[in-house]
Amino acid sequence: AATPSDSPTIFDKIINKEIPSTVVYEDDQVLAFRDISPQAPTHILIIPKVKDGLTGLSKAEERHCEILGRLLYTAKLIAKQEGLDDGFRIVINDGPKGCQSVYHIHVHLLGGRQMTWPAG
């Protein structure tokens, strides 16, 4: 099981194309790809290409504000690209109690079905 640390994660291998993923968006700062275990018809992970200590949102510093904004803005672009015009959900799991399993910050974009609240 993953533990909170600043070690490389599977996402580095995805960024470096050492393991395959279905990329839906890429630019110089951000990569977005389909989750291997989708929890909704659309389930995409949006990550910074450079982690810069941002293992999770709880580790955010002032210098991360720009990339944090870019992750959310990219989520909006992809939601549009995926046709999620009736709504979608953004999730950031943090730490063991937040069910975070990969310690490279990532935004989940979920859509294509009715979500419920607070869980599922």
Query: For binding to ligand 5GP (CB under 6 A), which residues are involved?
Result: 10, 21, 33-37, 45, 93, 99-102
CB of 109 to ligand 5GP, least distance (A): 11
Q: Residue 95 Cβ, how far from ligand 5GP at the closest point, in Å?
A: 10
Catalytic residues: 106
Signed CA dihedral, 5, 10, 60, 52: sign only: positive
Please, what is the minimum distance in Å from the beta carbon of residue 85 to ligand 5GP? Answer: 24
Closest by CA position to 64, among listed 77, 51, 83, 80: 51
CB atoms within 10 A of CB 100: 20
Bond preceding residue 4 cis, omega within 30 of 0:
no
